[in-house]
Structure 1
Amino acid sequence: MAKKVCAVTGGRGFMARHLVAALLRSGEWSVRITDLAPVAALEPEEKEGLLGAALRDGIAVYASADVCDLALLTKAFEGVDVVFHTAAADPVNNSFKLHYKVNVEGTKNVIDACKTCKVKRLIYTSSSAVVFDGVHGLFGVDESIPYPDKFPDAYTQTKAEAEKLVKKANDTNELLTCCIRPGTIFGPGDILVPYIVSYARTMFIIGDGKNSDDFVYVENVVNGHICAERTLTTKSGAARSGGKAYFITNMEPMNMWRFIYIVLEELGFKRRIKIKIPAYLLKPIARVLGWNYNKLSSIYGVRPKFWLTSVTIKYLTLNRTFSCNNAIEQLGYQPIVSLKEGIKITTESYKSMRYAH
C-alpha cells in the first residue's frame, strides 16, 4: 500500500522533530522535511535512529526551503497530500518586521504553494497566545474568545494574522485547513527546561505567585495535529472542523510556579523560599535594562537566553488556561502522556544531554 505524502515546514524545529518522528513511526507517511539549512544536520541519535533510517530509505526526504521563498516552497510541495506548517520566527526576537515576514508572508506563501500543488489539507501550528492581550488573565477560555485588539508582542500579533489567513483559506481550491493552538509546550529538546534551570539562580517570584498555566507535553501537541489531519479526511469532519482553530493542552492546568518547582526538584535542585516581587516594580527596570539569565553552559548546541522584559513579565504573572472540550468533541483529541510522566521524561532527557556535554 502506497504511503501518504506530507510535508512539514520548519521540520527541524523542536515540536516538528517530534511530529516527523510520530508520522514516520505510524508507517502511513512519506515525510518531506523542509527547513532553512542547506542540509539536514542530524544529531548522533537521529542518524542511528528512525529518522536516519527513513532518510536513507527515501521514506523521509529533506528539502531546503525558506517559507519566504514561494518558488522553493512550491517545488517542495509537489506531489504532497498534506502540509503541516510549523515554521515560525523565533519568539525571543521581538522584531515586528521579521515576524511579519516569516509568520504572515511566509504563511501566505505556504497557502499559495498548497493551492498551486493541489495539496488537500493544511494543518497550521498556531499558539494559544493568539487570544492573549498581556493585560487580562485567561481562565478556562474556549475558542469563542475573540482575538484581542492589542497584542503584547510581535510574535503573537503575527501568529494571529497568520491563523486568520489559514482559516480563510479553508475550502478554497479544494484545500481544507485547521489550526492547532498549543499551550506552553515542553518535552525533550525544548528550551523551556533550560530557562527554568536559569530561573533557579534567582530567589524571587514575580507577582503573587498564584497564576496558573496550561502546560502541554510535546507528544500531545503532535497528537493534536494528527487528530486534526485525520478529522479533515472525512466529509463530516471537514464540514465540522475545516477552517477552525483548537486549543490543545494536557488538560491539567497547574500553578505556574509549582510546575517550575517540580521540574527543578526532578533535576535535583533544592527547593528554596522565594521572595515575591510585585510585577509593577520589575516592569520599569526590565523595560529599560532587560535582565539576561545567560548563565548556562551550552546545551542542545545553543546558549539559551532569557530576557526578563516588560513583555515576558506579562506571561509570567497572569492566568493562561484553556478549554480543550471542542478538540475532544470535534477532533477526537485526548492527551496521550500525562503531565507527571511528561515532566519525568523531559527532565531525564535534559540530564542525559547535560552529562553528555
Structure 2
Amino acid sequence: MGSQRDGDGSVDRPAKARWCAVTGGRGFMARHLVAALVRSGEWNVRVTDLAPTIVLGPGESEGLLGDALRDGRAVYASVDVCNLDQLIEAFEGVDVVFHTAAADPGKNNLQLHYKVNVEGTKSVIDACKICKVKRLIHTSSSAVVFDGVHGLFNVDESLPYPDKFPDAYAQTKAEAEKFVMKANGIDDLLTCCIRPGGIFGPGDMILPTLDQYGQTLFIIGDGKNYDDLVYVENVVHGHICADRTLSTMKGAQRSGGKAYFITNMEPMNLWDFLYMVQEELGYKRLFKIRIPLLIIKPISYLVEWGYKVFYHYGMCQPHILTPARIKYTTLNRTFSCNKAIEELGYKPTVTIMDGLKATVESYIQLKNKDISRERK
C-alpha cells in the first residue's frame, strides 16, 4: 500500500486508509482504542454508541478525535447493538469490527445483560456476516472463568467456564464469547476474543472513588489477595495485536476462534496497588481499615436489596458495594498471558507504575480544570 505525508510533512499514513468500526465506542477502553486506531494512520474509524450525537469530553474537541471527526477520518453513528438494521448500516464497507459494547457491570440485572451482551453480540455477528466484514475482535473479560468462590492463580485459557458465575455480567460475557468463537470461519468471518484483567487508566472510576476516601484505605477481607491489573493502553494493544494476527493466513489458522488473556503480566497485591494509587494522589501516612468478610458480606446483601428497591423507583444510582464486587476484590485472580505472547505477539507496552503515574496525572489535570471553571 502506498503512503502519503501529512500537510506538515511529519506523519506518514497509507494513501487510502481502510475503515473499521468500534461498537460502544464512547466507553472507557473504547475511547483509547479509537484514539490508537486513528493515530496509527492505518484506519478510518466508525465510532458507534447509543447516544444520538457524540459529545466530546475535556480535551477531545481540540485533540486527535476532534480533528479526525472534522476531516472525516472518524465518523459517529448512533447505534443500538440490538438493532440489526442500524448495525448493518454502520458496518457497510468496514473491514474490521472491534466489539466493545456491553451492559454496565454495576447493574446486576440478568435481563439487561442478556439483551446487550448476548443478543447484542449475536446481532453484531449477523451484521458482520451480512456486510462481509473480514474480522471481528470481541472484548470479553477475564471474569468468564471466575466462579466467585475459588481463587485463580496464573490460570490459562484451558480453564473451562464455571458452572455458576458471580454476577450477570460474567455469565453473559461468557455466553457472548462462545457465540463469537463459534462464528469463526463462517461466511469468511474471522473472530478472536480478548479477555482483559482489571483495566485502569485515564478516565476510569478508580481514582475519583479513592480520592473521596482521602487518607483512608478500606481493606475488605484479609488483604492478601493478588490481582492481574492491566493498563488501558495495553488492552488496546492486545486488540490491535489480535487484528494483525488474523490478517495473515498463518495467524488466522492459529488464532481464529480463540480467546486470550491480556494483563500487564505484573500480578500484585490488590490493596498494595490501591495504596500506591492514593500515595500518587498525594495522600501520605494512610490509615488502613480492615473490614472482615463476616461483617461486610451480610451488609452487602442488605445494601443490594435496598438499592434494588430504590433503583426500581428511580431514587438512586447503581452502587459499588455488592456481593459480587466483594468476591472480585477478595479472591486471587491472576492469569497467564503466555498464549497471547506466543500466538498474538502481545507484550505490554506500559508498565504498571508508568500507567499509574499517567492515570493520576491525567486525573489531577482534569480535576484542576474543573476547580478552575467553578471559580470562574
Please give the range of the TM-score, normalised by the shorter of the 2 chains: over 0.9
In structure 2, the residue matched to 1:296 is none
Unmatched 5+ residue regions in structure 2? 1-14, 307-315, 371-376
Please point out which of 312, 319, 337 is paired with 2:332.
319
- Matched to 2:286, the amino acid is R
- What is the CA–CA distance in structure 1 between the aligned matches of 2:158 and 2:210, rounded to whole Å? 32
Q: Which amino acid aligns with 1:308?
A: L
- What's 2:109 paired with? 95
Distance in 2 between residues matched to 1:93 and 1:230, nearest whole Å:
34
Q: CA deviation at 1:202?
A: 5.1
Pair 1:339 & 2:352 matched: yes
Residue 297 of structure 1 is matched in structure 2 by none
**Quick check: 1:193 aligned with 2:200?**
no
Q: Per-residue CA shift, 1:298-326, capped at 9, x if unaligned?
A: xxxxx996421211110111000100000
Residue 68 of structure 2: which of 48, 54, 63 is its match?
A: 54
DSSP-derived class of the 2:275 partner: helix
Q: Distance in 2 between matches of 1:305 and 1:350?
A: 23
* Alpha-carbon distance, 1:268 to partner: 0.8
- What is the rounded CA distance, in whole Å, between the counterparts of 1:145 and 1:74 in structure 2? 35
- The question of whether the paired residues in 2 share the 8 Å contact of 1:224 and 1:333 is answered with yes
Q: Is the 8 A contact 2:194 2:239 kept in 1?
A: yes
Partner residue of 1:7 out of 21, 25, 29:
21
Listed as ranges, the matches of 1:67-78 within 5 Å are 67-78=81-92
TM-score between both structures, scaled by the size of structure 1: 0.94
Alignment check: 8 A CA contact 2:260 2:339 kept: yes
Alignment check: 8 A CA contact 1:195 1:304 kept: no
From 352, 367, 370, the counterpart of 1:354: 367
TM-score by length of 2: 0.89
Which AA in structure 1 matches 2:211?
A: V
**Structure 2 equivalent of residue 126 of structure 1:** 140
Compared with structure 1, are the counterparts of its residues 348 and 245 closer, same or farther at alpha carbon in structure 2 (3 Å cutoff)? same
1:163–1:179: 8 Å Cα contact kept in structure 2?
yes
Which residue, 206, 222, 228 being the options, matches 2:242? 228
May I ask how many residue pairs the two structures share in their alignment? 347
Change in Cα spacing, 1:213 to 1:291, as seen in structure 2 (3 Å) is farther
Distance 2:301 2:133 in 1: 45
The answer for the alignment partner of 2:151 in structure 1 is 137
3-state SS, counterpart of residue 106 of structure 1: helix
Match of 2:160 among 131, 135, 146: 146
Residues 197-212 of structure 1: pairs in structure 2 closer than 5 A: 197-200=211-214, 204-212=218-226
Would you say the 8 A contact 1:195–1:306 is kept in 2?
A: no
- Mapping of residues 24-35 of structure 1, within 5 Å: 24-35=38-49
SS at match of 1:45: coil
User: Unpaired segments of 5 or more residues in structure 1?
Assistant: 293-302
Q: CA RMSD in A?
A: 1.7
For 1:298, the equivalent position in structure 2 comes to none
Find the counterpart in structure 1 of residue 320 from structure 2: 307
Deviations 1:37-77 (A, max 9, x none): 11111124111111111111111111111101110001100
Greater mean alpha carbon deviation, residues 282-291 or residues 97-106 = 282-291
Of residues 45, 52, 65, the one that matches 2:79 is 65
State the secondary structure of the residue aligned to 1:15. Answer: helix
Using the alignment, how far apart are the partners of 2:293 and 2:212 within structure 1? 19
Q: Counterparts of 2:303 and 2:132 in 1: how far apart (Å)?
A: 49
* d(CA) in 2 for partners of 1:58, 1:229: 23
Local SS of the residue matching 2:86: helix
For residues 249 and 47 of structure 2, the distance between their equivalents in structure 1, rounded to whole angstroms, comes to: 28
Contact 2:144 2:171 in 1 (8 A): yes
* Contact 2:217/2:275, CA 8 A, preserved across alignment: no
Whose Rg is larger?
2
The 1:151/1:316 distance shift into structure 2, 3 A limit, reads: same
